[in-house]
Structure 1
Amino acid sequence: MYKRKSKTQALHPVSTSQGISSSLNISKYKLQDKTISAPVTAQSKITDDDDYIPEAAPLSKRVRRNSSVDKENLPAKKYFEEILEKCGLQIQYGSSPHTLTILGKEPIIIANELQTLFKKSNKSNEMIEKFMKTFEEYCKNEKYLKKALLPTQVASSSDTDIIVGIPKDSLIRILLNVDFLQEKVIDFVLEKLMEYALEEDDESNWTRLFTRPLAFLPTVNNSHKLATSLLDLIEVAAVDSQMELITILPDILPDHEHEFVSIRLSELMKKSSELIPAILECYGHLTLNTEKHNEVRKHLLALIQTSIAVTHIPILTQYLLNTCPQSEMVEVIQELRKTLIDTTLLLNTQDEKQLSLIMTFSTIQLAFMKSKPLANAWIKVILNIKEPAAHRSTDVMILIILYTIATHKRNTDIYASRC
């Protein structure tokens, strides 16, 4: 550990608009000694005497506001900025991310302080309305909107732009953890998401930026409204945004909304076959009961009997084999076998079709390694074929896969016994 040199210097007053740096003893960094000034209590700019405002952070732990921007060009502080600054979050207008100004203060603590602020105020409704109004005005600038969606950082010094620690929650994620603000912030996020999700070419990946703060929230106050809004948005969004939104639904919505999601996605799958891979991936992460899984499986089996894109067969095979109960394995395997036979007959020199078939057999091999009953069921299906002429190249491939797995297991057991 680096030793800090003792240095006695006269204390002198400082302006409240500047932060005071503190020396850190971190083995990873060797920070220069900084002058520590006498603490000065900062007077709040919020004039409402009835409003509860958390005690200002010690100036020795605060950082300079927008050090990378000329002070003369800084806009006047908005109401939401003043509130956030009192809780320990500094809005930055330069290239630097928004900063947590109190070392060791986690974003969830800032959210809790905001919650306490609104709860103890005699005019909480007015405060919330004013906070959201000024925040939305700030986000009208696309650059500021994007920064509100990006991670915050912890600043360690008022004189430098040193950043310590890992990236923290984004500004919008912090606001989503405040119960008094959550529903209004979600409405704001969905409104903005609608604007960008309709664009066919989303190069900046705005859809992912907007949905990331919504994922894995500790609580969602009105989850059904959120589920309905997201599913309505999926139906009208561009294809790329549709796929992005579908795959992240299990991370955003609580388990008790998953059955409602599965019903809506089943309807969507009938309308748009190109969304099948994303929907099946979503199904794999939804918490559904056995009855609902059976309904989805029957729908998929009916789908592959009619028509399905060759490129969708690997993900469809994976879902069917992973969710199939032992009592229905033979029926599912028979339908998959027919589909694979038709696929091999359709194969030509197109690399995409050949790759899809390779991925399908790889999926089957992995399923056999996970489930011995599934492998036995497929052998049973092949043995029940009475006429030699009824056998196809697909059956030979399955037998080769089973032989390879058995040989590998036997060799592994022999090697283990010798060790």
Structure 2
Amino acid sequence: MPAGLVISAPASGVGKTTLTLALARAWRSRGLKVQCFKSGPDYIDPAFHAAATSRASVNVDSWAMDRATIAHLVSRGSDADVVLAEGSMGLFDGVAARGVSGTGATADIAEMLGWPVVLVIDPSGQAQTAAAIAAGLRDYRAGVRLAGVVLNRVASPRHEDLVRRALNEVGIAVFGALPRHAEISLPKRHLGLVQAEEQAEIGKLIDEAARFVAEHVDLDAVLRSAADWSVRSATDGLNVTPPGQRIALARDAAFSFVYPHMLEAWRAAGAEISTFSPLADEAPDADADVCWLPGGYPELHAGKIAANARFRGGLRSFAETRPVHGECGGYMVLGAALTDADGVRHEMTGLLGLETSFAKRRMHLGYRLATLSGPMPGHQAGARLRGHEFHYSTILAQPDAPLAVVHDAAGAVIAETGSRRGHATGTFFHLIAEDR
């Protein structure tokens, strides 16, 4: 029977990912089977989890997914010895309005699955106050159980002793304390961590994190705190319709933000996926019946994309007879032009009229509920799609017919409606699930 734990924190940037990767690799090195999940809509962390465990990781999201979908996804951990769900932001951070089965908070997943929480606490600039924060998180919501804490970035033995004593006084176990260790910091860029596939030394970095954590954290005590978990029936599967039978999927450093559970659901429904690289000037498979361009970092490669005539011409030819859909960065590449952070305008494929700029940066972040005004691959007009949007581009022009009426999690209508023209469609949000 697998044992489950949730790794969370009071806030972002405290060290959840590093601890998750280190625990996963350290236990795997002991011969245990470790399965990871990511709570929330982050599409970068699951690739790091896979690098640490050699098992695919997927997102579970209480705002976008119902309980049956979450149960189906976590059932992949039924053959593991230990299951780790890495949280997003702070433990109770979600949106104000409830979604399908919760607000998107990590605490929803912890309560739903009955897994205790290991908190990563960064006591920099404080001492006993760290115990007050941990105690407040422990007592904030009935049904969410705190297993203990791991202290991160401890300044000195005296600092550690002050914090440990305070946590002991409020009855909170301390599994270990990590001194500052810059060598295991994961590289970041504007949308979060640099992708695992872009880091040639990721294996060595995870090994070093595992060694460091094993030296300072009681791995056996953490493992004993995990809850035995009986996997519930997960026969319902995922409510995901493939966009076509044969899908040409753009896949490289500029087009990599696609949720793993979506690809698995497409394959489970019988779809075939062939990948191609726009950065390598490849065109979509001519035998495919639909082309899908995920998000990623096209703004970092805009000059190369603009210069790759075979890709652009092949995509235009494809779109003359078959549907092409782009998400976020993929949507921008389907547009007329993209202006990079230096203010240089690059011509894109022109299948849609969208023009975007990274010279005028504006953060767009949050859950999205879209009601389709017209069809897109895999979904008919009127379908209600749940997704997540995160980018720093500004819309300069969005002249085509809107693809959907889009609301944020609070119910407000937003301007990022997506577009449709001919066989081309695009959205700024990344699709997570369709309402059942």
Q: Report the TM-score, using the length of structure 1 for normalisation.
A: 0.25
Which structure shows the bigger proportion of residues in strand conformation? 2
Q: Report the TM-score, using the length of structure 2 for normalisation.
A: 0.24
